[in-house]
Amino acid sequence: DGGITQSPKYLFRKEGQNVTLSCEQNLNHDAMYWYRQDPGQGLRLIYYSQIVNDFQKGDIAEGYSVSREKKESFPLTVTSAQKNPTAFYLCASRQGGAEAFFGQGTRLTVV
């Protein structure tokens, strides 16, 4: 089935560690997005990519990094520079201005 898959569903990080969240889509979409969701603040854009090997910072890119080496994959690394990483992370993909398809999310907790 076509879709967008995020893994893992739950992730725990120790202080000072980098962690990478996976996002894979088989919808042949050019654009992919990463959002962070905190209670009462909705979705805030971290990074987005319109095409392979190209990406742009969103509104809250500090402490995060991404890569887009393949069309179907857009991993997000939460670095130790991100001081408050505990949140729900959502990945999305879409083609042009059409509907964005979302993954089921990864809940990251710092322990």
Which residues contact other proteins (rule: CB under 8 A)? Answer: 31, 33, 35, 40-45, 48, 50, 56, 58-59, 90, 92, 94, 96-97, 99-100, 102-105
Task: Give the shortest CB-100-to-other proteins separation in angstroms.
Answer: 6
Q: Which two tokens stand for residue 37?
A: 């969701």
> Cβ(103)–Cβ(37) under 8 Å?
no
- Nearest 5°: the CA angle 76, 81, 82 is 60
Task: Give the shortest CB-94-to-other proteins separation in angstroms.
Answer: 8
Task: Give the shortest CB-92-to-other proteins separation in angstroms.
Answer: 7
Closest CA to 19 of 68, 63, 60, 69: 63
Which residues pair with residue 24 across a beta bridge?
5, 73
Task: Give the shortest CB-16-to-other proteins separation in angstroms.
Answer: 28
In the DSSP assignment, the letter for residue 77 is E
Residue closer to other proteins, measured from CB, 90 or 110: 90
Residue closer to other proteins, measured from CB, 2 or 42: 42
